């Protein structure tokens, strides 16, 4: 009985050892696909590590230009900037040569002055002022008008309000804007512009009845306005705002 048991036990041990050896040979063997998957995994891990390192460095370091890179274009010399400004001014079409001379005088003190840019800004200011006056918006007017003109505009608004009148207005657009005068006196630049614009405007009384203008009709309006700006010092020139200093009716 004991001999039989020992024989059976021995056979079982041999079978178990053989199974273990077979299993290890199967599990421990890598196929070509296994090798490729492992290599791909290692490659992805290396790439992820490189990206992390690059992102970390980029967050802390500002890349400076190297000598082998194309150098940045140097800023124009003051003499070149002045020459370019003069060329633009002389090429600007005017009806009177005195206007060109006025531009040149302004540009000598403020080389950033450009007639086209000025006229575009003046057009925007014109629309804002006309609209603010119709609305009775004193706050908007204050930053756009000189003290004297502001007082005249606000007085007219106050009289209108005292009568209970309101203005309904739609600014259609500027048909034409033309510079009539330009000069520099005592460090103050002044430019006069004639605006030909189109408005729809109607004034109503307390009862809402139209007493002036036409709420359905486009009206042609011509205004001659003078804008000024102090450019006598560097501090003054840092304020780029032109203010309306005078208005006049067309001849």
| Domain 95-248, CATH | 3.10.450.240
- Strand (E) or helix (H) holding 195: strand 188-204
CB neighbour list of residue 94: distance below 8 Å, 6 or more residues apart: 100, 179
pLDDT by residue (tens digit) across 117-176? 999 999 999 999 999 999 999 999 999 999 999 999 999 999 999 999 999 999 999 999
As a whole number of angstroms, the distance between CA 93 and CA 119 comes to: 13
Question: Mean per-residue pLDDT for 62-66?
Answer: 33
Contact (Cβ atoms closer than 8 angstroms) between residue 195 and residue 171: no
Under the banding of pLDDT at 50, 70 and 90, the label for residue 58 is very low
What percent of the chain stands above pLDDT 70?
Answer: 67
Domain boundaries, the chain: 95-248
Instruction: Please give the full DSSP string across 212-248, using - where no structure is assigned.
Output: EE-TT--EEEEEEEEEEEE-SSHHHHT----EEEEEE
Could you give the dihedral angle defined by the CA atoms of residues 99, 101, 106 and 107, in that order, rounded to the nearest 10 degrees? Answer: 120
């Amino acid at each position: 009985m004991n001999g039989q048991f020992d024989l059976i036990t021995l056979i079982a041990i041999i079978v178990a050892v053989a199974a273990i050896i077979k299993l290890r040979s199967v599990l421990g063997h890598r196929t070509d696909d296994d090798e490729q998957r492992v290599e791909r995994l290692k490659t992805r891990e290396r790439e992820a590590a490189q990206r992390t390192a690059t992102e970390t460095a980029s967050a802390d370091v500002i890349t400076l230009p190297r000598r082998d890179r194309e150098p940045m274009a140097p800023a124009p010399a003051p003499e070149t900037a002045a020459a370019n400004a003069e060329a633009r001014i002389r090429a600007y079409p005017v009806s009177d040569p005195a206007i060109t001379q006025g531009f040149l005088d302004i540009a000598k003190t403020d080389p950033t002055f450009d007639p086209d840019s000025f006229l575009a800004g003046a057009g925007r200011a014109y629309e804002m002022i006309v609209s603010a006056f119709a609305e009775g918006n004193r706050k908007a007017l204050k930053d756009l008008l000189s003290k004297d003109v502001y007082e005249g505009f606000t007085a007219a608004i106050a009289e209108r309000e005292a009568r209970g009148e309101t203005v309904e207005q739609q600014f259609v657009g500027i048909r034409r804007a033309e510079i009539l005068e330009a000069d520099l006196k005592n460090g103050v630049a002044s430019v006069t512009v004639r605006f030909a614009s189109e408005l729809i405007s109607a004034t109503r009384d307390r009862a809402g009845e139209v007493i002036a203008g036409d709420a359905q009709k486009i009206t042609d309006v011509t205004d001659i306005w003078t804008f000024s700006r102090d450019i006598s010092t560097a501090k003054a020139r840092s304020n780029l705002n032109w203010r309306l200093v005078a208005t006049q009716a067309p001849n």
